[in-house]
Structure formats: structure tokens, C-alpha cells
């Protein structure tokens, strides 16, 4: 389809099919067809706006058709409730994140029927294209005046005492404002929001008088007297309600984020904004600019309402920020800044490497049982999880656990990234972080290899058999070879490391949100069983370690079960954890004896270890850092400045990334 003139025959056919006495579904089908004609091929908003002018020109030339269209329009607005469209369209019909997610999923998967009395459903069918908001905004003031003259009808219900009889559109706007106001009051009175408001905001009772303030606006509008003062007071009360609801965010920041509560707060805020838009349409819109802006916004909202990603992004942004904040608190402990802290990190990593050699022994013991794939993965996950938890409780370190925790701690320092001094301080932190990672990896790898060899030799001395046989050792070499898929599997393991940090932050947020530490400390049933002192110790212990437990246990089971699950789906995938891989390599060397040094497969496997370690650390840190940057709203320009500053430091002081200078001690 090209120029507007090419649509003449189609428009003529549409107007000939117009039947004011058609049943409801065929009225709606005709309206959908008309909007399809206006939309055309969707290439240009201006072309669609020109077709609206063409429609009006044709109607001016055909008075009989105009009368039929006006009769059809009166039938249409008499069978659908426009106030529900203006007040509720774009808002969730349920007050919970999960139920709204399911409802949107249904709307995406299930077709909608035009046989409906719901104006919102009809609006979504009629204005179903992404271009609809654009061509509505492109309508000229003259076109809007012609449309208003064509479609304006008097209201069927004229309130008593009205100085001037309202139109259908004005009555619909008043009803929509009333519905929105009642929804705002209901949300403000809900215990989940009311109990979390600041006491001054709650005691000022802006929600209590909102209905009375709206009645004052309605009466003043109908009388035509005292309207400005009534509207000003009503707007002030709306702002007070919005500020009272916003005070809940401070409580959430201190006591944990609830997706459902954030979802409700966003709905309340958007309803306040909707009322302001409706008031603009009702009170001060002789050129109908506010009305077309409202309809254009509704068309855009309808598109967003179909998006699952938009719902998740909007509702989970605060949760992502809180998860990043929880992780940053933990991540600070993993960043070393002085030589003393650097040596301490080496010691903690050495202890973690020693314990991981025992993990290697237990993993091969599970393998020797000959279990099915699922149960082998499950018990391997148990071994990993228990090992990681023991390392946590002994205050040792596993190198690859650090990046996903340290990334949010780094991003938390980016709030003043525009200041060169703050940017330099951030680059200093990057050098501290890289050194910490190097120390942790070196400590793990340098100890786990000889410890695994020693364990295998001791086992052979006591039982006559090494930790693994020669065939398994040969398999270890070839599975770890640099020319194999180890790099891909190492990147996958980095994703799992990042996922475990997200789970850790979410679980800690859940623990704090539900005040479980307080319940452990003060619940009478718990204190009666444990005693007050022991309950207090348990509460403090769990509050301190819940994040680590969640991270370590989830990571352990993901490392164990993911290969089995992917294998069931026909995807041959494994995990490659640098410390575990080094321990397996040590066990393989002990099994094959001194002659192994002449085996090229050994050196191909050794060559893969730096790649595995770099991908474990790099992928998990990159993903966590991106989440943290989004949580702290760091722009693209800020990220470019960060990249340039880090590269500049790397060129001028590469040694600072490996060893702390004396003046830093």
C-alpha cells in the first residue's frame, strides 16, 4: 500500500458495510477493520494520520453515512464501559507479581475475542500495533476538532444541579477518576503498605480524605464555581498519598525487598499519575491535546502490558539493587589492600585448597559407586556443598567464589564516577581486587595439587590402590586438555558461580524480609527449647552466615546436578572448576607415577588450568558487575570511562595488579 489515495476503494467498502443495528461482535469487528485501514502497512505515522483526514473528508461528502456512523457510535458506547478503560487499562487486575506474570503469559499465548463488553479488551484488539501510539500523537489540532465534533454525544445521565449538561466523554472521565481514587485508597489502606509507612505520613491521613476531596472537585465542576481551589487541594492530597507510599521504600531498603510490595507501590504511583492525566482532559483541554495524549499513552501502555520482560524488569530492579548490596557487604571481606592482607589471603586460599583435595577424594569415591547419572550428580552435589560450607565455617577461601561477591562491592563505589578522584579510587580498588583474585587462585592451586597427590599416595599405602585407576587418570587428562571443550565448560561454571551469588543475595533478602533472625532470637517456642542465650547465638550465627550457606549449597548442587540434567536433555556438558580440576589432575598424576611427566596429555591439561581459572573468575565477575552497574544506574558513558581508566592503569603500572606496593601497607 502506498499513498493515501490507494485506500479509497477499501474505505468505500468499509463504509458501505457500516450497520448501526449490527450485533455487538460485528460492531467490534467493523471497528477493528477500520483501524486496520487507518494503520495501513504501518510504515508511517504521518500516513496513518492522513488517512484519518481522508475518512473525515469522505464523511463530510456523505451526510447519510455520517448519520449512520454516529448512530453506530452511540450503540457502541452504550454497550461498553469507557470509564473502566480510562481507569484500569494498563494496570494489573491482581495485586501480586506472580499472578500478574501468569495473566500476561495467558494473554500472550491465548487469542482474545472481540465478543466482549470490556472496553479494555476491545481497546487492546483495536489498537494492537506498536505504531498506534505514534499516529495518534501525529493527529493535527484541526483533525482532533473534527473528530470531536463527529463523536461528541451528550451524557445519558445528567447529575442534578449541573450548570451545563456534561458530554458522554466528560462523564466517563469523572467516573474513571472516581474508580482510580478508590483503588488508591484501597492500596493505601492495605496493611502491607500502611504498616511500613513512616509514622508522620501515616498519621497525616492523606488517604482518608481523598474521596471527600474528589467529591468537592466533582461538585465544583458541575456547579461551575470554586473549581480551581478544589482541584488544587485534590492534587495536593494526591501528592501527599504518593509521598506517603514512597516512604515505604525506606522500610524496604532496611528490612528487605518484597516483589509483591514493590509491584503494589508502582501500581499506586501510576494510578496517581493517571488521575492527573484524566483531570487535565476534564478541566483544561479545549483543543483535545490532553485527550489524544492520554489515548496515545494508553496505546503504548497496552504494548508494555503484553511484555513479560517489562514486568520482570520493572518489579525486580529494587530486588536486584538489594541483592547487589547484600553481596557487596560480603564481597568487601574478599578484597585485600595491604601486604598483610595479601599474605592472609594466601593462607586462607591455601587452607581452602587443602580441603578441596579431600573434596576430590570424596568425588572419586562417589564415582566408584557406579550410581546412575542423577544419583551420581546428587551425591556429588552433596560432597561439593558440604565442602564449601566447611571451608566457609573455617574462614578459608575458594578462589572462584569471590568474583560474584566482589563485583557488587566494586560497583557500590561508582556513585560519583564523574569525579576524577573517585574514578582513580575505583581503579585502585580494581587493582586490589585483581591482586586478591591472583592470591586466592595461587593459594588454592598451589596447595590442592600436592595435597591431592599426597592423599592418593597415602591411600595407596594403606589400601594398595591409588585414588583412581590408570583408565580414569587418562580420562582426566583428556577431559581437561586445552584443545577440548574445557574453555566452554569453564565459562558455564562461571555462570553457575554468578547464579549462586544471586541465590545468596535473594535468600538473605528473604531472611531479613521475614525477620527470621528476630524470630529465632525472641520466639517463645524457640527460646523455651533452646534457652535465651543459645537462641540469641543461633540468630546471630544464621544472620551472619545465611548468605554463605545459600551460596555454597546452591553452587554445590548446581555443580553436581547440572551435567546430569543436561545429559538427560541430550546436551553433553560438564563443569570445570579450576580448584577441583587441579585436584583431579593431582590424583591422576599420583595414579600414573613418575613416568607421567613424559606424557604430553599432562601438559595439555596443565595448560588449560589458567584458561579455566580465568574464565571461572572472569565470567562470574562480569555478570555480577553488570547486575551491580544496573542496580546503581551507571550509564553507558560511565562504563566507557571506567574501561579507559583501568586500561590506562594497566599500561602504566602493571605490577600493581599482582603485588601490593610498600606504601600501601
Say what the pLDDT of residue 317 is. 56
In angstroms, the CA 5 to CA 11 distance is 10
Left, alpha or beta for 376 (phi > 0: left; psi -120 to 50: alpha)? alpha
Residues 6+ apart with CB under 8 A from 614: none
In angstroms, the CA 147 to CA 144 distance is 5
3-state SS class at 466: coil
* Mean pLDDT in order along the chain per 10 residues (665 residues): 45 89 92 91 86 93 93 92 89 67 78 86 87 91 93 80 80 93 90 82 80 91 85 92 85 67 83 93 87 91 73 59 53 64 85 93 91 93 95 85 54 61 73 78 91 92 87 90 90 89 81 85 91 92 87 92 89 88 92 87 91 88 74 66 79 73 53
In angstroms, the CA 478 to CA 244 distance is 63
In three-state form (DSSP H/G/I as H, E/B as E, the rest C), the secondary structure along 98-120 is: HHHHHHHHHHHHCCCCCCCCCHH
The answer to whether residues 257 and 318 touch, using CB atoms and an 8 Å cutoff, is yes
What is the grid cell recorded at 66? 455520517
In angstroms, the CA 610 to CA 490 distance is 11
What is the grid cell recorded at 17? 458495510
3-state SS class at 468: coil
Residues 6+ apart with CB under 8 A from 588: 468, 472, 473, 474, 476, 477, 596, 602
In angstroms, the CA 195 to CA 264 distance is 14
**For helices 227-246 and 248-255, angle between their N-to-C axes, nearest 10 degrees:** 0
Q: What are phi and psi of 160, to 5 degrees?
A: -65, 140
The answer to whether residues 391 and 352 touch, using CB atoms and an 8 Å cutoff, is yes
| Half-sphere exposure at residue 84, Cβ-oriented, CA atoms within 13 angstroms | 13
DSSP notation for 263-291:
HHHHHHHHHHHHHHHHHHHHHS-TT-HHH
3-state SS class at 167: strand
Say what the pLDDT of residue 72 is. 94
Four-residue CA torsion sign, 411, 417, 420, 422: negative
DSSP notation for 506-565:
HHHHHHHHTTHHHHHHH-HHHHHHH-HHHHHHHHHHHHHHHHHHHHHHHHHHHHHHHHHH
Residues 6+ apart with CB under 8 A from 301: 89, 90
Say what the pLDDT of residue 6 is. 41
In angstroms, the CA 575 to CA 578 distance is 10
- The rounded Cα 262 to chain-centroid distance in angstroms is 12
The answer to whether residues 248 and 193 touch, using CB atoms and an 8 Å cutoff, is yes
The answer to whether residues 419 and 461 touch, using CB atoms and an 8 Å cutoff, is no
With a threshold of 0.85, does the pTM exceed it? no
In angstroms, the CA 484 to CA 478 distance is 8
238 exposure class (CB count in 10 Å sphere: 0-12, 13-18, 19+): buried
87 exposure class (CB count in 10 Å sphere: 0-12, 13-18, 19+): buried
What is the Cα Rg of the chain in Å? 33
3-state SS class at 663: helix
Left, alpha or beta for 384 (phi > 0: left; psi -120 to 50: alpha)? alpha
SS percent in the chain: helix, strand, coil, step 5: 80, 0, 20
What is the grid cell recorded at 211? 474521596
Task: Enumerate the domain spans of the chain.
Answer: 336-657
Amino acid at each position: 500500500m502506498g499513498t493515501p489515495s490507494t485506500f479509497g476503494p477499501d474505505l468505500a467498502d468499509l463504509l458501505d458495510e457500516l450497520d448501526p443495528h449490527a450485533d455487538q461482535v460485528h460492531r467490534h469487528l467493523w471497528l477493528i477493520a477500520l483501524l486496520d485501514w487507518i494503520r495501513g502497512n504501518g510504515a508511517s505515522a504521518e500516513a496513518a494520520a492522513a488517512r484519518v483526514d481522508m475518512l473525515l473528508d469522505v464523511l463530510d461528502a456523505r451526510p447519510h453515512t455520517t448519520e449512520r456512523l454516529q448512530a453506530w457510535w452511540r450503540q457502541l458506547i452504550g454497550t461498553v464501559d469507557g470509564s473502566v478503560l480510562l481507569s484500569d487499562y494498563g494496570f494489573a487486575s491482581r495485586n501480586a507479581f506472580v499472578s500478574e506474570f501468569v495473566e500476561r503469559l495467558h494473554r500472550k499465548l491465548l487469542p482474545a475475542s472481540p465478543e466482549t463488553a470490556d472496553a479494555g479488551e476491545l481497546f487492546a484488539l483495536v489498537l494492537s500495533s506498536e505504531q498506534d501510539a505514534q499516529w495518534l500523537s501525529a493527529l493535527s489540532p484541526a483533525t482532533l476538532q473534527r473528530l470531536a465534533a463527529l463523536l461528541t454525544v451528550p451524557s445519558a445521565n445528567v447529575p442534578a444541579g449541573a450548570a451545563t449538561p456534561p458530554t458522554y466523554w466528560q462523564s466517563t472521565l469523572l467516573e474513571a477518576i472516581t474508580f482510580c481514587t478508590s483503588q488508591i485508597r484501597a492500596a493505601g489502606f492495605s496493611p502491607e503498605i500502611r504498616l511500613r509507612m513512616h509514622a508522620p505520613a501515616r498519621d497525616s491521613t492523606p488517604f482518608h480524605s481523598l474521596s471527600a476531596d474528589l467529591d468537592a472537585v466533582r461538585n465544583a465542576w458541575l456547579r461551575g464555581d470554586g473549581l480551581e481551589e478544589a482541584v488544587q487541594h485534590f492534587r495536593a492530597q494526591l501528592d501527599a498519598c504518593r509521598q506517603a507510599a514512597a516512604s515505604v521504600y525506606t522500610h524496604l531498603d532496611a528490612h528487605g525487598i518484597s516483589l509483591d510490595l514493590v509491584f503494589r507501590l508502582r501500581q499506586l504511583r501510576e494510578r496517581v499519575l493517571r488521575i492527573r492525566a484524566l483531570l487535565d482532559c476534564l478541566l483544561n483541554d479545549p483543543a483535545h491535546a490532553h485527550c489524544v495524549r492520554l489515548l496515545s499513552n494508553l496505546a503504548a501502555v497496552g504494548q508494555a502490558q503484553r511484555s513479560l520482560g517489562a514486568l520482570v524488569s520493572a518489579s525486580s530492579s529494587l530486588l536486584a539493587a538489594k541483592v547487589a548490596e547484600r553481596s557487596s557487604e560480603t564481597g568487601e571481606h574478599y578484597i585485600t589492600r595491604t601486604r598483610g592482607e595479601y599474605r592472609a589471603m594466601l593462607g586462607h586460599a591455601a587452607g581452602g585448597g587443602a580441603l578441596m583435595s579431600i573434596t576430590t577424594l570424596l568425588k572419586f569415591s562417589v564415582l566408584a559407586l557406579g550410581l546412575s547419572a542423577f544419583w551420581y550428580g546428587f551425591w556429588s552435589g552433596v560432597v561439593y556443598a558440604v565442602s564449601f560450607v566447611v571451608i566457609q565455617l573455617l574462614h578459608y577461601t575458594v578462589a572462584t567464589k569471590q568474583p560474584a561477591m566482589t563485583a557488587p562491592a566494586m560497583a557500590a563505589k561508582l556513585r560519583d564516577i564523574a569525579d576524577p578522584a573517585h574514578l582513580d579510587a575505583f581503579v585502585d580498588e580494581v587493582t586490589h581486587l585483581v591482586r586478591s583474585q591472583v592470591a586466592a587462585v595461587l593459594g588454592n592451586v598451589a596447595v590442592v595439587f600436592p595435597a591431592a597427590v599426597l592423599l592418593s599416595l597415602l591411600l595407596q599405602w594403606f589400601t594398595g590402590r591409588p585414588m583412581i585407576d590408570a583408565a580414569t587418570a587418562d580420562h582426566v587428562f583428556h577431559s581437561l586438555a586445552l584443545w577440548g571443550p574445557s574453555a566452554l565448560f569453564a565459562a558455564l561454571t562461571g555462570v553457575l558461580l554468578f547464579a549462586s551469588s544471586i541465590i545468596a543475595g535473594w535468600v538473605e533478602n528473604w531472611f531479613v524480609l521475614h525477620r527470621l533472625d528476630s524470630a529465632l532470637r525472641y520466639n517463645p517456642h524457640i527460646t523455651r527449647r533452646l534457652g535465651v542465650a543459645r537462641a540469641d547465638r543461633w540468630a546471630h550465627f544464621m544472620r551472619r552466615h545465611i548468605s554463605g550457606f545459600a551460596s555454597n549449597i546452591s553452587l554445590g548442587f548446581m555443580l553436581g546436578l547440572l551435567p546430569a540434567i543436561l545429559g538427560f536433555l541430550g546436551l553433553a556438558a560438564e563443569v570445570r572448576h579450576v580448584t577441583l580440576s587441579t585436584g583431579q589432575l593431582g590424583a591422576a598424576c599420583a595414579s600414573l607415577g613418575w613416568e607421567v611427566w613424559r606424557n604430553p596429555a599432562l601438559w595439555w591439561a596443565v595448560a588449560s588450568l589458567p584458561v579455566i581459572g580465568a574464565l571461572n573468575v572472569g565470567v562470574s565477575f562480569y555478570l555480577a558487575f553488570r547486575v551491580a552497574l544496573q542496580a546503581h544506574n551507571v550509564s553507558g558513558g560511565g562504563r566507557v570511562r571506567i574501561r579507559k581508566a583501568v586500561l590506562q592503569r594497566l599500561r602504566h603500572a602493571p605490577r600493581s595488579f599482582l603485588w601490593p606496593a610498600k606504601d600501601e601497607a
